[in-house]
């Protein structure tokens, strides 16, 4: 499959996840408890995947440190996102703002990894920022 198909499937799956999260928060499940169980069961799913696919665990110290940093950022980002969903009048508003991470990642990738970037990509980033402003009004 092409990357775009994977991205579309991920969008659909993550949308379902967010709607379930909102329902659980309406049922007064605390964000920290929700994330604890999501990551607990997620760990079991990932462990099963690694075992079934016989993926190697051989990694360097730098890789371990970067993964620990990514895990910490994931913890903080997911917690803040859930608090935002809990407090927003519509979870779509919150997800719209959080999804502007695409613009940050795009620009960061250009600076850090010299990824491609065209004027049309720049226009997309500008439109995303305009959408962020409109969601915040």
Maximum CA extent, the chain: 49
Burial 31-68 (b: 16+ CB within 10 A, else e): beebbeebeeeeeeeeeeeeeeeeeeeeeeeeeeeeee
Domain ranges of the chain: 3-89, 100-137
**Cα–Cα distances in Å, from 84 out to 22, 39, 97, 131?**
10, 19, 10, 17
Q: How much is the pTM? A: 0.81
Q: For every one of its 137 residues, what pLDDT tens digit does the chain have, with 9 covering 90 and above?
A: 798 899 899 999 999 999 999 999 999 999 999 999 999 999 999 999 999 999 988 889 999 999 999 999 999 999 999 999 999 999 988 998 898 898 889 889 999 999 999 999 899 889 988 988 888 77
Give me the helix-helix angle, 91-98 and 61-87, nearest 10°.
Answer: 150
């Amino acid at each position: 499959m092409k990357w775009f198909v994977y991205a579309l499937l991920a969008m659909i799956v993550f949308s379902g996840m967010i709607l379930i999260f909102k329902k659980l928060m309406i049922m007064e499940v605390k964000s920290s408890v929700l994330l604890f169980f999501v990551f607990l069961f997620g760990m079991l799913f990932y462990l099963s995947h690694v075992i079934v696919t016989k993926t190697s665990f051989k990694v360097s110290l730098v890789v371990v440190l970067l993964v620990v940093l990514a895990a910490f950022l994931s913890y903080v980002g997911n917690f803040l996102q859930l608090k935002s969903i809990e407090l927003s009048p519509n979870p779509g508003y919150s997800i719209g703002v959080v999804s502007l991470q695409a613009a940050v990642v795009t620009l960061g990738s250009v600076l850090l990894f010299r990824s491609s970037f065209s004027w049309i990509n720049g226009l997309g980033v500008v439109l995303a920022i305009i959408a962020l402003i409109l969601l915040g009004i």
